[in-house]
Structure formats: structure tokens, C-alpha cells
Amino acid sequence: MKKDLRASWPQALFTFFAPALLVLGIRWIVIEPFVVPSGSMIPTLLIHDHIFANKLAYGVHVPFEKKWLLHWSNPQRGDIAVFRYPETPDVFFVKRIVGIPGDSVAVENGILSVNGKKQEQTEAAVPAMSEGRFHYFNESGHLVRYLDRENSNYQALIVPEEMYFAMGDNRDQSSDSRVWGLIPEENFVGSVRRVWLACEKTLVSASFLCDPSTIRWNRILREVR
């Protein structure tokens, strides 16, 4: 007797493709993983911290495009956000938003000023992992780091509509809006609230995977702000 395979083929295809489609759907709409490649956000984010971008924070993009399919919220001052680098949209950056549309942003002797109001800074203890030549300050509930705060300046700029100003928390070692300009609203991918995995080194054969022998256990599931 011949076996009727007509009923089993759709089931087999569904079993094969459904998990892949589910993963792709979650990555497109809900969360997307990234690995921090540089030290521009030290001490908040370290090199090789693995983070998730919450893609529901601002809206949903058309697949594989910057255009919004649904858009219900905008980045706020203080958000740590993943966005497409304005000069090369295929590259993703992570920075802190310090200026939203209509804001006047300036830096004088290392101190950020928004709408003419200087952000209060108080000197902080040097983290155990830090090199001694850096100086740390508390600013609006998070730490920032400097090499030479007194020589860091940026002339006042008014942020236009649908544009945003971002800076790294590692203020003297960050290429950000002070260097390459403002971020268009459509470039935002999502906000970052937590490190889910961290390590000193990634695998040579796969730079997006941690070397298990160098995991920073104290940073796993660490909340960032």
C-alpha cells in the first residue's frame, strides 16, 4: 500500500519554517541583539557588552527599511538608543540622547548645557576596572568619563525638528553628534535598558559570540540607565 504524503508535506514545511519566521518576526518587531564594539559609552556600556534594542520603544519599521510602519513614541533625553549611523545607515551606533527637537545643546569646559541649563555634575569614585588617568562624574543619574574635561567644548546648536543630538558617556573618547552631526528620527532602532551578556573577548571565528572563559559575570542582566 502506498503512503499518502499529501498531508505530511504542509506539516513538514510548517515545522521547518515556523520557528525561523517566529525568530525573524521577534527580531523585526520586538528586540534585536547587538554587541558593543567600542568604548564610547564607558562606563555605562563596556566593549563586548551584549545588549538588546527594545524595538517597541519607538515604533515598528517597514522590514529592511528606515521608514516607519507604525510610530508611537520619540526618543527622550537620557535614553540610551541604538540607531543607524547617519553617514552609513548599514552601521549601527549606540549613544545617549542629550538633545531633542527644539533643544539648544552646548558643551562648555566639558559640562553639557541643554536650553541654557548646565547639567549638574558631582565627582564620583573611580570604578575598579578603570585606568587611573580618567575622571568620573555623576550627571543626571548616570556616570560620565573624561580625560580632560576643561578642554572639551562645543558651540551651541539648536536641534531641528525630527532630529536628535547624541553623545557618548565616555565624553572625550566618543565620536558622536559633536563630530558627525544630528540623527534623523527615522534612523532609530530602539532603546537599551539592560546588558544580557558581557565578556572581555569574543571568539575569533565569530565576533558576535563571547569567549566563555572571559565572561564578565557581574554584568549579566545588568540594568543600564
SS3 135: strand
Asked if 40 is an active-site residue, the reply is yes
Which region, left, alpha or beta, applies to residue 147 given φ > 0 means left and ψ of -120 to 50 means alpha? alpha
Separation CA 201–CA 48 (nearest Å): 7
Cα 202–chain centre separation: 19
Q: Given the residues 8, 55, 66, 95, select the one marked as catalytic.
A: 95
| Contact by Cβ (8 Å): 154, 178 | yes
Domains and CATH numbers, the chain: 22-223 (2.10.109.10)
Q: Which run of H or E residues covers position 198? A: strand 194-198
pLDDT at 58: 93
Instruction: Please give the full DSSP string across 25-55, using - where no structure is assigned.
Output: HHHHHTEEEEE--SSTTTTTS-TTEEEEEET
pLDDT at 137: 93
pLDDT at 5: 46
Length, in residues, of the chain = 225
pLDDT at 169: 96
pTM: 0.85
Q: Given the residues 40, 174, 177, 191, select the one marked as catalytic.
A: 40
pLDDT at 156: 92
Nearest to 160 by CA among 107, 115, 99, 118: 99
| Contact by Cβ (8 Å): 93, 87 | no
Separation CA 35–CA 196 (nearest Å): 10
pLDDT in tens, the chain (225 residues): 555 545 566 666 556 555 555 445 555 556 889 999 999 999 999 999 999 999 889 988 887 777 888 888 999 999 999 999 999 999 999 999 999 999 999 999 889 999 999 999 999 988 766 667 898 999 989 999 998 887 788 999 999 999 999 999 999 999 999 999 999 999 999 999 999 999 999 988 888 889 999 999 999 999 998
Separation CA 188–CA 64 (nearest Å): 13
pLDDT at 62: 82
